[in-house]
Chains A and B, each alone.
Chain A
Amino acid sequence: MASVAFENVTKQFGNVVAVKDLTLYIPDGEFLVLVGPSGCGKTTTLRLLAGLEEVTRGRIYIGDRDVTEIPPKDRNIAMVFQSYALYPHMNVYDNIAFGLRMRKVPKAEIERRVREASRMLEIEHLLDRKPRQLSGGQRQRVAVARAIVRDPAVFLFDEPLSNLDAKLRVQTRAELIKLHQRLGTTFVYVTHDQVEAMTMGTRIAVMKDGVLQQVDTPQNLYERPENLFVAGFIGSPPMNFFEARVVPEGDGLCVDTGAFRVPVPPDRVAVYRPHVGRRVVFGLRPEHIYDPEYAPPLNHPAEVLARVDVRELMGSEVHLHLVADRQTFVARVDPRSRALVGNTIRVLFDMDRMHLFDAETERAIR
């Protein structure tokens, strides 16, 4: 068990900067998810921590130990690869035991630990099989067993669910969460899937172009994204963005997108006032736009007229693709909504959930 710290870590491949000046502290026992679009540097970050890549600048610590120059085998980590990377010529038992054998653990002890790990992952009946005789889900379990059998200080996961089908993925997600609770060890988990990140992480680190954008709890990332990128990345369907200006209206303020004007809730007026007249981006999540007929009581609703362009029934909800003037946006509304394609309807914006970003810096205005 150990904490992990990145201190000003930069990794360059030739002229390409894969990770830029990353500083990140992961407390002992945390389930940290590194998330971002492909090429954002999340996998490189994980590989730097594993020791599979060497840092260009900066230091990496596991616990109190500076591991920057230490080879992977001496870092006391275990890793589950995206492809699982099971040794194809060894049976499941030998795959799990390999790391212990390399470390000269006594035979009886190996036997005991392999049994224990395979019991925990319910693969005891597969110990004699070769990897090619296993299903994708079983291979995944073997890969996890191979990691936990060594009882490492930190577990690294590189998109371990991406090769599973949708149903198995949801199931395995829950199992990994349970495993983390049971082991209490630090997990560092890489994924490009924001749903995975939201459901699994104690905290989530969002990366883009090698730069860490924000590290926070799933709740805070969702409610208080620090910039446009994080706001658009977390949440599905993504947050609606409108280019807009803040304009005074009476004592208060309005957001004017050109297509519609909506009032700023009074408690935010003071914060937004310095931005009057400047270009801003107004953000509102699809789930905070309501069909008036099924809207809950809202403190600061704002009415907007829009034409229904596409209606997608998801079962538990309906996604309405709406057009107001030249602005398009998505609303996640009650499935009983009677809005039909082609209709012009009234929708309610829950202005207490609005986000405002500086159009230049793309940072949230708070």
Chain B
Amino acid sequence: MKIGRIWIYIALLVLTLFYLLPVYILLLTGLKSFAEADLTRMWNWPTQPSLAAFAKAWDKLSPNFMNSVYLVIPATLISSFIGSINGYVLARWRFRGSEILFPAILFGMFIPYQSILIPLVRFLQSIGLYGSIPGLILVHVVYGIPITSLIFRNYYASIPGELVEAAKIDGASLLGIYRWVMLPLSQPGFAVVAIWQFTQIWNDFLFAVTVTNKPAQQPITVALQNLAGSQIIEWNVQMAGALLAAMPTLLVYIFLGRFFLRGLLAGALKG
């Protein structure tokens, strides 16, 4: 048993190292000068570690980084909130057609994004949002609804039905129950959904490159790709930029991850 445990740890350690290796190279190369950053010396330590590449990358990427921020925050909030309301209704209220509505919403998850790009662009053009961050927000909100609704539906299904019934008897309406009972209990649900949506939207490339045509409007994922010149690629700057682009999702995991573990429902039921 003990021996088995040790093997499991060894296997996990090896896998973790393997998985983190690209990040290591990313960091290593980012700290190098342009001359040092080449394939033959990939594994070598930088002779003079410096943050110059990071500074340069930030200099070039910061407007796009902010674009991503302006995109990801409203898109995450709006799609989480809509998902929360959908999830509440789908989990707690039976109405005519509710059995059909839920699979219909879920169906949105199974449509490949690539297949709808052309109608999507035409649609955004016709409502005047093509090429803009608000247009991209709209796309992400709509595409977030299936998954956020699903996560919230399952989360609300785990909240004891008696709480909802007690609120019904106490005189709360459909929206009152949501506002006063479900929403305050939604923190863990929001944490999960927000982490998911933030990561999806921040890391999205396909929608971003399709919907935004002007560099000034592009999120960081697109700008990062455009950082590479057509003649030469400054690998140290490219790597530093990639690390900068990855930083926010990392921070979100670190700061919101603990909400996963919070047992907010303790005390609702028998003890």
User: Which residues of A are at the interface with B, using a C-beta cutoff of 8 A?
Assistant: 50-52, 71-73, 77-79, 81-90, 98-99, 102-103, 130-136, 139, 146, 150, 163
Contacts and interface: CB of A to CB of B under 8 A. Distances in A.
A83 B266 contact: no
B168 interface: yes
Interface of B: 160, 162-163, 165-173, 176, 180-181, 184-185, 264-271
A132 B267 contact: yes
Contact of A89 (B160, B172, B185): B185
B189 to A, nearest CB: 13
A71 B168 contact: yes
A88 B168 contact: no
A102 B166 CA distance: 12
B183 to A, nearest CB: 10
Nearest to A52: B165
A85 B165 CA distance: 9
Given A52-B168, A99-B171, A103-B171, A89 B184 contact: yes
Contacts of A136: 270-271
A357 B162 CA distance: 42
Contacts of B166: 79, 81, 85-87, 146
Contacts of B168: 51-52, 71-73
Contacts of B264: 88-89
B268 A86 contact: yes
A60 to B, nearest CB: 15
Contacts of B184: 89-90
25 contacts: A50-B169, A51-B168, A72-B168, A73-B168, A79-B169, A84-B269, A85-B160, A85-B165, A85-B166, A86-B166, A86-B267, A86-B268, A87-B166, A88-B185, A88-B264, A88-B266, A98-B180, A99-B169, A99-B171, A102-B176, A131-B267, A132-B266, A136-B270, A139-B270, A139-B271
A87 B163 contact: yes
A361 B163 CA distance: 43
A123 B109 CA distance: 50
Contacts of B270: 83-84, 136, 139, 163
Nearest to B266: A132
A349 B68 CA distance: 89
A83 B160 CA distance: 9
B170 A88 contact: no
Nearest to A131: B267
B171 A83 contact: no
Contacts of B268: 83, 85-88, 131-132
A228 B264 CA distance: 48
B267 A72 contact: no
B269 A102 contact: no
Contact of A87 (B165, B171, B173, B181): B181
A71 B269 CA distance: 25
A99 B269 contact: no
Contacts of A102: 170-172, 176, 180
The 7 closest A-B CB pairs, nearest first, are A132-B267, A102-B171, A99-B170, A85-B162, A131-B267, A88-B268, A85-B166
A85 B163 contact: yes
A79 B167 CA distance: 10
A72 to B, nearest CB: 5
Given A81-B165, A85-B165, A89-B185, A98 B170 contact: yes
A56 to B, nearest CB: 15
B172 A134 contact: no
A197 B172 CA distance: 32
Given A83-B160, A85-B160, A89-B185, A73 B271 contact: no
Contacts of A77: 169
A141 to B, nearest CB: 13
B188 to A, nearest CB: 12
A43 B180 CA distance: 27
A137 to B, nearest CB: 10
Contacts of B163: 85, 87-88
